[in-house]
Each structure stands twice: as C-alpha cells, then as structure tokens.
A = this chain, B = another copy of it.
Amino acid sequence: MKTIKTGVIGTGFIGPAHVEALRRIPNIEVAALADIDDETARTKAQMLGIDACYGDYRELLAREDIDVVHVCTPNHLHYTMSKEALEAGKHVVCEKPLATVSGEAEELTALAEQKGLINAVHFNVRYYPLMSHIRQMVEKGDMGKIYSIHGSYLQDWLFYDTDYNWRLEPELSGDSRVVADIGSHWMDLIEYISGQKITEVCADFATFHPIRKKPLNPVETYSGKMLKPEDYADISIGTEDYATVMLHFENGAHGVFTGSQVSAGRKNRIYFEMDGSRKAVSWESELPNQIWIGNRDKGNEVLLRDPSLVYPDSRDQISFPGGHNEGFPDTSKQMFRQIYTAIREGKQAKKPLYPSFRDGLRELVLCEKILESSKKRAWVSI
C-alpha cells in the first residue's frame, strides 16, 4: 500500500493533535510542517520528529510529493490557506471554522468540488463511535419520528475575566465565539445523527465579561508567576460568553441548546437528549463511551461502546473492545481514517460520512443566522 504524504500547517494546540492522530494510521507519513516563521517551524518539527519544516506555508504547498494538507492555524487564516492548497492541487483537511464568513466558505466549497479534491472540516465529535450508532438507530427507525432535541455545550476555560486567548478577538476568530466555536460542533453533531436540517433559529446571547483583562506580554512569559494589575490591559469584548438557541427542524422537530464558556466545573461537556416517538437517547461527552436509551414501557438502557453491541456499520469506527475506553484523540484518528480512504479512492462521495467543506459552509451559515436572530430578538429562517 502506497504511503500518502501529508503536510500540516500550524502547530498550536490542535496541529500536534492532527500529527499524532495521523501517525496512528498505517501508511500515512507526516512529511512536512509549516509555521509562522523558520525558527518556530524548526523547533516544532524537531519536537514532533518531522523531517521537513517551513517558515512559509507556500513552500510546503509547492512540494509535489505532498498530497494532503491539514490547515491548523487560527481561524482568520483558514480561508486563504485552504484556497491556496486547493489551487496547488492538494486535498485539504481544514480545522473548523472553514472560514470566518460564509461567502468565503462557499467559494472554497465550490473550488474543492470543481477540482475534485477531497475536502474535510475537523468536526471530530461525530467520530465518537456511539454517535455513528445513534445515526443508524435513527435511520433504521428505532427512534421513530424525532420530536425534540435539547442539550448544551459547556466549558469553563474562559470563566474569569483574566482568562485570555486569541479566540476572544473577533479579527482573529470571527464575530461569534460560543456559537461558532462550540455551538457549531453541537449543531453539526445533531444534524448528523438526526438526519434533520435546522430550518429556523431564535437566539439569546449574553456577555458576562464585557471587559476582559489581556496580558500585555505573551502569556507564556508569565507562566508560573502572578500577574500584577499593570501587566494587563482592559479590552472590550463583543462576542458572547453564553448563548441559548431555540431550533426548528425540517421534519417538524423542535430543539434548543445552551452554549457557555463560563460554566464552572464543566471542562468541555457536550450533552444532548433526542426524544423520538419510540425511544429517547442521550449522551454526554464527559462519559463518551456510553449512551442512555429511554423507553416508556421497559427499563432504560445504557449501551457501552462495544463492537459487538453496535450496528455493523459503526463497528469500523471502534478500534478497541468494550470496556477499553476510547476518547477525544481517537475521534480524529477515526475521522482521518475515513478521509484517507476517500483520498486513496481518489473521489469524494456526494454525501460523505465525514464532514466536508459543504458541512463547514453549513455551520457558517447557521452561525450567521443565529447572530442575526440574537440581534433581532426574533426567529430567523435559514
């Protein structure tokens, strides 16, 4: 089997996670890395054990032997880099969001499809194997008609006004924060498992820290010591700390989710309950290896992630036996396995199981409509 060569652009939190996940899959070589300048690129390449490195991503794109590019940079760079990668004839796996505005995402989607290149956005939550099983429960009619879907995505890493990160700056991250960063994962997951598109939204946003304190020097410098008042600058925050969005779906189902980055004790917790006319099902990502299935006329069920207990089509996403828990790092591995299978086949399905640029575009459209609804204090159609 031919080894596919891949280049990764960006080595913050998520770039190395891509590298690690890719290496778990046989016959893929992470051949090159690009970062913001030569020195950063060299340091990270050594740390990660990657042969080639570039301070300018265009040099990476120029390499003929590289077939696939992973774009893992801050949000505002996704559009340009993905576009140039496609133009260089590379398959592209882009971090979410695909762009900062839907128009750019539309352009990327069209370009990728026109060039016949594999294109994917890293909505990895779909790849907790039980999510695939739920999708099949829905498809096979186990759930009956879907009535309602409600849930939340809660974090606490921006709990204090002294918590700071580039995601707080709209010019780097976009005009929405909670909905774009984490709400998009929730919506992508829900549309994926339910097979239903959202048709209307009604949103309520809140910013509990309208002023945050930005460290004046890079945060790494300060690690391990106390910051003093004069080390900070007060910055106005325009993006939301909290959002609740009510939803209508194409089949008549109703829903709602709450996203928050100021929920103490919730490190990164995705939750949903989907109520159907036959069963209900719920999942929380802090216990990712089990789902709850609700029944009216018999006991409820707790199904563990076990290859022998899920539908055959979901087995392929499980590498380890029941009770041998898998987690967050395994989702990217399973996602990349499907994407690279498509790369070997040279052709993207019309509706691939993995999230394509079309899904990345979808989330940008949803976010824009949700922002509009929040401003209008009214329902908005998609």
Chain A interface (Cβ < 8 Å from any Cβ of B): 1, 3, 13, 17, 20, 23-24, 26-28, 46-50, 147-148, 150, 152, 154-157, 159-160, 202, 204, 206, 208, 241-242, 244, 246, 248, 252, 254-256, 258, 260, 262-269, 273, 275-280, 285-290, 292-304, 306, 308-309, 319-330, 377-379
From B248, B275, B293, give the contact of A299 (CB < 8 A).
B293
User: Would you call A301 and B300 a contact (CB within 8 A)?
Assistant: yes
From B1, B242, B246, B321, give the contact of A268 (CB < 8 A).
B321
Known: A267-B306, A304-B299. A319 touches B323 (CB 8 A): no
Known: A49-B26, A202-B204, A204-B254. A263 touches B294 (CB 8 A): yes
For the complex formed, measure the closest distance between the CB of A38 and the CB atoms of chain B, giving whole angstroms.
19
User: Would you call A300 and B303 a contact (CB within 8 A)?
Assistant: yes
Known: A49-B27, A299-B302, A300-B303. A246 touches B280 (CB 8 A): no
Find chain B residues with CB under 8 A from A299 CB: 293, 301-304, 309
**Which of A266, A277, A293, A297 has the most CB atoms of chain B within a 10 A radius of its CB?**
A266
User: Would you call A280 and B263 a contact (CB within 8 A)?
Assistant: yes
* Copies assembled: 4
Q: In the complex, A156 Cα to B320 Cα: how many Å?
A: 15
Find chain B residues with CB under 8 A from A378 CB: 377-378
User: Would you call A264 and B258 a contact (CB within 8 A)?
Assistant: no
Find chain B residues with CB under 8 A from A325 CB: 285-286, 288, 325, 327-328
Find chain B residues with CB under 8 A from A206 CB: 147-148, 252, 254
From B1, B258, B295, give the contact of A150 (CB < 8 A).
B258
User: Would you call B148 and A1 a contact (CB within 8 A)?
Assistant: no
For the complex formed, measure the closest distance between the CB of A253 and the CB atoms of chain B, giving whole angstroms.
8
Find chain B residues with CB under 8 A from A258 CB: 148, 150, 256
Find chain B residues with CB under 8 A from A156 CB: 294, 296
User: Would you call B254 and A263 a contact (CB within 8 A)?
Assistant: no
**Which of A13, A244, A265, A308 has the most CB atoms of chain B within a 10 A radius of its CB?**
A265
Find chain B residues with CB under 8 A from A157 CB: 321
From B208, B242, B328, give the contact of A277 (CB < 8 A).
B208
Find chain B residues with CB under 8 A from A294 CB: 156, 263-266
User: Would you call B295 and A49 a contact (CB within 8 A)?
Assistant: no
